[in-house]
Structure 1
Amino acid sequence: MTASSSQTGSSQAGRGDIGRDDLVRWLGDYLQLGAYPDPSLNGLQIQGAERVRRIAASVDTSLQTLQAAAESGADLLLVHHGLFWGKPLAITGPHYERVRTAIGAGLNLYAAHIPLDAHPEVGNNAMIARALSLTDLQPFGDWQGHKIGVAGRLPRELGLQDFADRIQKLTGEICLVHGGGSPNVHRVGVTSGSGAGAIAEAAALGLDTLLTGEPEHKHFHDSFEYGVNVIFAGHYETEVFGVRALAAKIEDEFGIPWQFLNFPTGL
């Protein structure tokens, strides 16, 4: 697979820089990393260069993304899905190659998972809600006792297919539509990634439509039995928003240029 690498930040390389540890502290405070239970090891997962002058951002951590980040001259790779998920892994095989690539390039790896889904300013769900111009926003999408999604109203009611077409234009992904509810869309809940479990919560709030990433077999019938439409727009494509917004925030704060590395999975 060839990376589609799009420069979406400043092109003025070297315009700013910050100490790695200072940036890590700022990110921890800004993202409130300790506020959410999370299987991801959020924060700095691999230590690299002491100064950060350029950032690469990507949804996933793979050998491809690490290599592309190193080739781009980045000092830090900012990701949503990191390398470590709640249990120790032997540094062997592909995992070894990923770690070796990062260390060999002096590349810092920083992961923000649930905190980046939930963040009210740069989070995946907040950014999608903003792109859809949702109003009357309220917390939505339970994650172990925390609301990490958002629900709101469209400025005007849309037909279900028109709404799906709008989502497709936003993400570039062909949507899977489960039309279990109203033929029109007005009140929408947003939970990026694996959010199909929020269908019952959407029904309880009186939402007519849930927008999420990927379908799960165990939740297939929920859309029709709870009477809620579900738009599945892709796990990857609903989670590009947060890392891009966070990288742009860092540029605004510290003048550090950034680049988004696009490796879509189709899932």
Structure 2
Amino acid sequence: MTDFSTPASAPALPRAVPLSELTGWLDSYLKIADFKDWSNNGLQVEGNSTVTRIAASVDTSQRSIEEAIASGANLMLVHHGLFWNKPLMVVGPHRRRLQAALDAGLSIYAAHLPLDAHPEVGNNAMMASALSLQNTAPAFGSASSVIGQMGELPYELSLQDFAERVQKLTGEICLVHGGGGGTGVQKLGIVSGSGAEFIGEAARLGLDTLLTGEPEHKHFHDAFELGLNVVYAGHYETEVFGVRALAARLEEQFGLPWQFLHLPTGL
């Protein structure tokens, strides 16, 4: 005999947050308007009017868009978006990426320099925290867009030991330029992604080591001539921290589930 005394509860509906509310909060939290950037930061693609699930990705690509859609997300947070300063013709791969997002109702929100710089969820702040950096302060960049961090390790490490510690953090085999001539690592600067241009600034700040993502040929000799160690840990792998931390912060704020799309480039 079927017991109807306790009706079965209906499955809970996923929380739906208006896209405008979510993007308004992001714009304010990341201080999007404060940055002069060659990325078009903020909401780049407007999809569904509500958000129930988030995907986070370093890059916007056909694969990241397809995986975001497959995950059930209707908002994708990215560090590298679809649009950069000058208009792009909507042809070829760019058209296919944009059309896939629009067809699925997937919104795309990009935060480039604002996510490098953020003191709580920024790429550089997250790496500084993971490396137990003390006495941290913002550094590197222009007055309107200071994006990096500087500080001191609790104790000096050999350059090799420091590189091994970074490798454990990022999973990337580091390229090490020992421009310090055997000096250890304690006074550290961090600039995620492409930060070789800041070698000179790191030396002027009295740092012994700069941690960044990828090298540039034109800056190769700078480290050795200025007496600075530089550890390159990969552009991609130094920029996974921000989008993950931002997605987790949105879960705290709005109760939305999220998923990180790990699509490494090896660069």
Contact 1:212 1:231 (8 Å CA) reproduced? yes
In the TM superposition, what are the counterparts of 1:238-253 in structure 2 within 5 Å?
238-253=238-253
Q: What residue is the counterpart of 1:180 in the other structure?
A: 179
Q: What residue is the counterpart of 1:260 in the other structure?
A: 260
Contact 1:37 1:144 (8 Å CA) reproduced? no
Q: What residue is the counterpart of 1:165 in the other structure?
A: 164
Q: What residue is the counterpart of 2:86 in the other structure?
A: 87
Q: What residue is the counterpart of 2:41 in the other structure?
A: 42
In structure 2, distance between residues paired with 1:211 and 1:204: 15
**After superposition, what is the alpha-carbon deviation per residue over 1:177-224, rounded to whole angstroms, capped at 9, x for unaligned?**
000014310000000001011111111111000000000011000110
In structure 2, distance between residues paired with 1:86 and 1:236: 21
The one-letter amino acid of 2:53's match is R
In structure 2, distance between residues paired with 1:191 and 1:183: 20
In structure 2, distance between residues paired with 1:207 and 1:214: 19
Q: How many residues align?
A: 255
In the TM superposition, what are the counterparts of 1:39-188 in structure 2 within 5 Å?
39-143=38-142, 145-181=144-180, 182-188=182-188
Contact 1:20 1:49 (8 Å CA) reproduced? yes
Q: What residue is the counterpart of 2:219 in the other structure?
A: 219
In structure 2, distance between residues paired with 1:223 and 1:14: 56
**After superposition, what is the alpha-carbon deviation per residue over 1:218-242, rounded to whole angstroms, capped at 9, x for unaligned?**
1000110110000000000000000
TM-score by length of 1: 0.93
**After superposition, what is the alpha-carbon deviation per residue over 1:82-134, rounded to whole angstroms, capped at 9, x for unaligned?**
00000111111000100010001100000000000000000000000000010
Task: Tell me how far 1:14 sits from its aligned partner.
Answer: 5.8
Q: What residue is the counterpart of 1:29 in the other structure?
A: 28
Identity, % of aligned positions: 62
Contact 2:16 2:51 (8 Å CA) reproduced? yes
Range moving further from structure 2, 204-213 or 136-145 = 136-145
Q: What residue is the counterpart of 1:210 in the other structure?
A: 210
In structure 1, distance between residues paired with 2:169 and 2:110: 24
- SS of the equivalent of 2:69 reads helix
Task: Tell me how far 1:156 sits from its aligned partner.
Answer: 1.1
Task: Tell me how far 1:16 sits from its aligned partner.
Answer: 3.1
Task: Tell me how far 1:141 sits from its aligned partner.
Answer: 1.0
- SS of the equivalent of 1:58 reads strand
Range moving further from structure 2, 237-246 or 195-204 = 195-204
In structure 2, distance between residues paired with 1:78 and 1:175: 27
The one-letter amino acid of 1:201's match is E
User: How has the CA–CA distance of structure 1 residues 206 and 232 changed in structure 2, closer, same or farther, with 3 Å as cutoff?
Assistant: same
What runs of 5+ residues in structure 1 fail to find an aligned partner? 1-12
Structure 1 residue runs of 4 or more that deviate by more than 2 Å after TM superposition = 13-17, 143-146
In structure 2, distance between residues paired with 1:23 and 1:264: 27
Which structure has more relative contact order (CA 8 Å, sep 6+)? It is 1
Q: What residue is the counterpart of 1:7 in the other structure?
A: none
Task: Tell me how far 1:144 sits from its aligned partner.
Answer: 6.2
Contact 1:14 1:54 (8 Å CA) reproduced? no
The one-letter amino acid of 2:133's match is L
Task: Tell me how far 1:36 sits from its aligned partner.
Answer: 1.0
Contact 1:56 1:74 (8 Å CA) reproduced? yes
**After superposition, what is the alpha-carbon deviation per residue over 1:56-102, rounded to whole angstroms, capped at 9, x for unaligned?**
00000000000000011001000000000001111110001000100
Contact 2:113 2:145 (8 Å CA) reproduced? no
In structure 2, distance between residues paired with 1:49 and 1:145: 33
Q: What residue is the counterpart of 2:3 in the other structure?
A: none
Contact 2:118 2:125 (8 Å CA) reproduced? yes
